[in-house]
Amino acid sequence: MQKIPFHIISGFLGSGKTTFLKQIIEQYSAEKKIGIIQNEFAPSNIDGAELKKMGEDFNLLEINNGSVFCVCLLGDFVRSLEKFIHQFHPDILIIEASGLSDTTSISEVISAGSLAEKIYLASNWCIVDAQNFAKVGLMKQRVSHQLRMADVVVVNKTDLVDSGLEQIEQEIRKINPFTEIKQTSFCKIDFELGNSAINKFYFGEVKSMSRPDVNSMVIKSARQVSLQSLQLFLSEWAPKAYRIKGFVKLKDNKTVAVQCTFDSVDVLDVDDAFHPTELVALTDRFTLREWTRAFKELF
Amino acid sequence: MKGLELIKKAFALEEVERIPWVPFVGVHGGYLTGVDAETYLKSTDEVVKGVSKAIEEYNPDGVPVVFDLQIEAEILGCNLQWAPHNPPAVITHPLANGTSLADLKVPEISDGRIPVAVEATKILREKHPDVALYGLITGPFTLALHLMGTDIFMKLFEAPEEVNAVMEFCTKVGVKMSEYLLDAGCDIIAVVDPMTSQIDPMTFETFVTPYCTEIFDFVRKKEKLSSFFVCGHAQQNIEAMCNCKPDNVSIDENIPLDFVKEIALKKGISFGGNMKLTVVLLMGNEDDSRENAMECLDMGGKKGFILAPGCDLPMDTPPANIKAVSDLVHDPYKQDVVRALEKKESTLEIFNMKDYGQADKVIVDIITLDSESCAPCQYMVEAVKKVAPQFEGVVEWREHAIKKMDAVTFMSSLMVKNIPTICIDGKIAFVSQIPPKSELVAAIQKRINAKLKLKIQQRKSKILLLCSEEAECTGIKQNIHRAITELGKDIEVKVISDKEKMAKYGVAKGPAVVTVNYKLKSEGIEPSLDVMKEWIKEL
């Protein structure tokens, strides 16, 4: 069985996640079996009810008991998700993660244990409400760890603001220099079912060629590494991965953002004092154990 | 030294001989005794049973009595959704649904499920006077979030006075709850405020610091200890947390332990954490758990550190994983071994063991920590030692104590994962458990029989009779058969009369006799190139 792509859509309450989900369901539910996971912290169930009203064909897993906002409660999430996959065999999984969710921990958990044999992290989206983002700069703390690990940041509701979009983009880039930023209103943006990094690679290859099983994996570490050994590490592993990205804490207490695709390794300084190293890889050529071991050797 | 004393020492930043350990057993206690989360959290008896079981199994220095951040919220009007494997979740928020703050009253000791926590504390206090009991209360910010819902985040900016008023009320609740639990017999009040991870230091100082400080001051006045628990990405607030003057801060895996250690010790506060809950303790195995615990122990050190999981243990965390941590904490020798394995594993060169165990003798290898200092290892070695002489020199045994590097390599090469283990001719035979004598004898005998069988099969002989015409060799054939019968041998006789085939043996004209000895060199395995070369040299 091919692994199921797992997508994260995060963002603060009211940013437009459910609207985005609705569009994905409308667009794809005829051709694919979609599994939706909702963990809205509050008010419970309202969004779930809204989605169900659509009458389209998809399966919904609601995690009301214990929102996935804290690593303490991820154990139950793993169990529910496993049951859900077993029951419905979805072609694609999308989690709507509330603004309080820790998306890195979600990525880590789905990439470990028995879940890792069934699914892989395909993409991580964060939706930002242009109106509110501009209004409350102080809320950055809350969105920043969702933003920093996002592959795509969608700046939504741009119709409601007259100016300041450029500034929002700058703010986002400061947190996550490599992310793709899309501006829109009503979440009108295209969504890719698989992982774009893999799709790019297979584009132009023989169509029928079956894709090897991909693994996603996460390294979290508190230790600091030297820039030189980080670069050696990345140049060794990047060619074996579709993509490696994330943030690494360096010896001089600086943090760098990292993005690697096959042959390119990009490392950029970012302003950040309070996050540990978090690296995500997507590959079909190594395992988490091998990767972690190699990373540990850097110290 | 007894748990409570040890924890007090660690809280006082005195050097300890052993790092104290506090497994955060919440609904996991119900898992140990076989009840669901709801039954567990609603019953004094079940909590007492679960915590007692955890004390018995995990040999902790301290334990929380009840780990449930919804007790206060439930009394104050939040609706809960219960789940079998988790503490309940708050699903409605009274202050967001029309209730006014003035209508809320500080809970009495008899309200809601407070009696469960209070009564359980009293009983556990009596049963386990030497174990530190942690009384957990919902931190004021998390309680405020329960009451107001996520509106609180907007209101921090739009209506700060409103948030302050709610925080003031939640603090009163916190102080009262602390009083109930301390009077019932708790040693330490843990203010659990995970939602503070969602705010920045400035907001923390404005909306959290004054309130939490008040609770910690109250505990100090009661001459008891306090701890500030937080989980999630709260690294930015650690300093602010320390400034609230708790006696201890406890964190989860999202914050580097060394970071907290540096700040906390500078501020004269002890610290705790931060074993990985989900990917290691819940989903990993005993090795993963030991490795993670060792990392924390080494980073935390013997001054001011308490080993704990990052947060409430997931309900069905395998008890074996927690036991592995407990064993490690109590056994400095095991710690050395884990350190040794961890360091050596990555640079290990694995032996090629493909042809191991082909010698005439049967080799019994015992992989141990060191039979002199590890009791199970000693018994396992003793067992083999006793049995081996019965085989009168056919069986040879060796101990491999993995304190030595080459033994670690040997262990990994045989793919042995547990200590102690017995391997017979390179195959894992007994893991961890010491086999009864009869089983050990049987296992060795089985291997001897297998080897003998192989040997017999290895030797096959043939006599070839080369003759142009059958009649030519009738006489010889009869003689050969007679000889075989008289000798009791197992030899095949084959007549070859094809001219070309005869020529291959260098025979132009029969009759001629050729004897052939075959030796079966291997069966069922693919011999390595080096081994093949040795065989070919013999020819």
Interval A219-232: pLDDT, tens: 888 788 999 999 98
- Domain annotation covers residue A132: yes
Q: For residues A154 and A20, is the Cβ–Cβ distance under 8 A?
A: yes
The alpha-carbon gap from A207 to the nearest alpha carbon of chain B, in Å, equals 37
Rg (CA), chain A: 19
| Residue B462, pLDDT score | 78
Hey, is the C-beta of B87 within 8 angstroms of any chain A C-beta? yes
- Domain annotation covers residue A26: yes
Is a pLDDT exceeding 90 seen at residue B53? yes
pLDDT band at A209 (very low <50, low <70, confident <90, very high): very low
Q: What is the DSSP string of A184-216?
A: -STT-----SS-HHHHHHHTTS-TTPPPPPPEE
**CA-nearest residue of chain A to B235?**
A274
| Residue B9, pLDDT score | 96
A163 and A271 both lie in a single domain: no
Q: What is the pLDDT of residues B80-123, one digit of tens each?
A: 988 888 888 888 899 998 999 999 999 999 999 999 999 999 99
- Domain annotation covers residue A150: yes
Tell me which residue in B91, B278, B346 faces A109 most closely, judged by beta carbons.
B278
Instruction: Name which of A40, A61, A71 to mutate to probe chain B: the one with the most chain B Cβ atoms within 10 A of its Cβ.
Output: A71
Are the beta carbons of B279 and A108 separated by less than 8 Å? yes
Percent of chain B with pLDDT over 90: 53
Higher pLDDT, A64 or A195: A195
Strand locations in B15-65 (E): 62-64
- On chain A, the residues whose CB falls within 8 A of the CB of B258 are 222
From CA B305, how far away is CA B295, in angstroms rounded? 13
| Residue B245, pLDDT score | 97
- On chain B, the residues whose CB falls within 8 A of the CB of A293 are 345-346
Is a pLDDT exceeding 70 seen at residue A50? no
Are the beta carbons of B157 and A138 separated by less than 8 Å? yes
- B426-455 residues touching A, CB cutoff 8 A: none
| Residue A111, pLDDT score | 87
- Domain annotation covers residue A200: no
Per-residue pLDDT, averaged over B312-321, amounts to 93
| Residue A198, pLDDT score | 66
Hey, is the C-beta of B203 within 8 angstroms of any chain A C-beta? yes
Domains contained in chain B, CATH given: 3-225+234-246 (3.20.20.210), 362-435 (3.40.30.10), 457-538 (3.40.30.10)
Is a pLDDT exceeding 70 seen at residue A140? no
pLDDT band at B183 (very low <50, low <70, confident <90, very high): very high
| Residue A68, pLDDT score | 42
| Residue B347, pLDDT score | 55
A172 and A285 both lie in a single domain: no
Q: Which residue has the tokens 């926590």?
A: B117
A178 and A33 both lie in a single domain: yes
The CATH number of residue A18's host domain is 3.40.50.300
| Residue B475, pLDDT score | 78
- On chain B, the residues whose CB falls within 8 A of the CB of A65 are 81-83, 86, 88-89
Is a pLDDT exceeding 90 seen at residue B513? no
Higher pLDDT, B515 or B6: B6
Per-residue pLDDT, averaged over A62-81, amounts to 66
The alpha-carbon gap from B196 to the nearest alpha carbon of chain A, in Å, equals 10
Tokens of B130: 């030497």
| Residue B535, pLDDT score | 65
- On chain B, the residues whose CB falls within 8 A of the CB of A108 are 278-279
Tokens of A144: 């920043």
pLDDT band at A256 (very low <50, low <70, confident <90, very high): very high
| Residue B177, pLDDT score | 98
- Domain annotation covers residue A206: no
Per-residue pLDDT, averaged over B386-412, amounts to 85
- On chain B, the residues whose CB falls within 8 A of the CB of A145 are 233
The alpha-carbon gap from B280 to the nearest alpha carbon of chain A, in Å, equals 10
Are the beta carbons of A75 and B277 separated by less than 8 Å? yes
Among candidate residues A194, A222, A243, the one where a domain is terminated: A194
pLDDT band at A54 (very low <50, low <70, confident <90, very high): low
Number of domains in chain A: 2
Tell me which residue in B82, B149, B231 faces A70 most closely, judged by beta carbons.
B231
A224 and A189 both lie in a single domain: no
Is a pLDDT exceeding 80 seen at residue A137? no
- Domain annotation covers residue A202: no
Hey, is the C-beta of B285 within 8 angstroms of any chain A C-beta? no
Q: Which residue has the tokens 């060191």?
A: B370
Is a pLDDT exceeding 80 seen at residue A210? no
Per-residue pLDDT, averaged over B275-294, amounts to 90
Per-residue pLDDT, averaged over A93-101, amounts to 83
Per-residue pLDDT, averaged over A58-73, amounts to 62
DSSP state of B279: I
Mean pLDDT of chain B: 88
Domain that holds residue A230: 211-296
Give kind and range of the element (H or E) at residue B273. Answer: strand B270-275
| Residue A49, pLDDT score | 64
A162 and A265 both lie in a single domain: no
Hey, is the C-beta of B343 within 8 angstroms of any chain A C-beta? no
A99 and A16 both lie in a single domain: yes
Q: Which residues contact A230 (CB under 8 A, 6 or more apart)?
A: A248, A250, A256, A258, A267, A298
- A133-152 residues touching B, CB cutoff 8 A: 136, 138-142, 145
pLDDT band at B250 (very low <50, low <70, confident <90, very high): very high
Is a pLDDT exceeding 80 seen at residue B372? no
- Domain annotation covers residue A170: yes
A223 and A190 both lie in a single domain: no
Range with the lowest mean pLDDT among A137-151, B400-414, B430-444?
A137-151
Whether omega before B389 lies within 30 degrees of 0, making that bond cis, reads: no
pLDDT band at A207 (very low <50, low <70, confident <90, very high): very low
Per-residue pLDDT, averaged over A85-106, amounts to 86
Burial classification of residue B435, based on how many CB atoms lie within 10 Å of its CB (0-12 exposed, 13-18 middle, 19 or more buried): middle
How many A×B Cβ pairs under 8 Å? 133
From CA A229, how far away is CA A291, in angstroms rounded? 14
A50 and A190 both lie in a single domain: yes
Most confident of B118-122, B142-146, B366-370: B118-122
A253 and A147 both lie in a single domain: no
- On chain A, the residues whose CB falls within 8 A of the CB of B229 are none
A29 and A98 both lie in a single domain: yes
Instruction: Name which of B67, B199, B254, B299 to mutate to probe chain A: the one with the most chain A Cβ atoms within 10 A of its Cβ.
Output: B254
Higher pLDDT, B286 or B472: B286
pLDDT band at A56 (very low <50, low <70, confident <90, very high): low
- On chain A, the residues whose CB falls within 8 A of the CB of B255 are 222, 276
Q: 3-state class of B447 per DSSP?
A: helix
| Residue A66, pLDDT score | 45
| Residue A1, pLDDT score | 61
A182 and A285 both lie in a single domain: no
pLDDT band at A158 (very low <50, low <70, confident <90, very high): confident
Q: Which residue has the tokens 């060169």?
A: B349
Per-residue pLDDT, averaged over B147-172, amounts to 91
Among candidate residues A132, A159, A194, the one where a domain is terminated: A194
Range with the lowest mean pLDDT among B330-344, B467-481, B487-501, B507-521?
B507-521
CA distances from A269 to A26, A158, A181, A257, B335 (A): 40, 29, 19, 6, 38
- pTM of the full structure: 0.73
A51 and A166 both lie in a single domain: yes
From CA B321, how far away is CA B341, in angstroms rounded? 18
What is the ipTM metric for this complex?
Answer: 0.75
The CATH number of residue A248's host domain is 3.30.1220.10
Higher pLDDT, A105 or B525: A105
Is a pLDDT exceeding 50 seen at residue A182? yes
| Residue A38, pLDDT score | 82
- Domain annotation covers residue A205: no
Per-residue pLDDT, averaged over B419-448, amounts to 88
Among candidate residues A162, A194, A226, the one where a domain is terminated: A194
| Residue A43, pLDDT score | 47
Is a pLDDT exceeding 70 seen at residue A124? yes
| Residue A208, pLDDT score | 43
Percent of chain B with pLDDT over 70: 94
- On chain B, the residues whose CB falls within 8 A of the CB of A110 are none
Burial classification of residue B168, based on how many CB atoms lie within 10 Å of its CB (0-12 exposed, 13-18 middle, 19 or more buried): middle
Q: For residues B328 and B270, is the Cβ–Cβ distance under 8 A?
A: no
- On chain B, the residues whose CB falls within 8 A of the CB of A73 are 86
pLDDT band at B536 (very low <50, low <70, confident <90, very high): low
From CA B273, how far away is CA A222, in angstroms rounded? 13
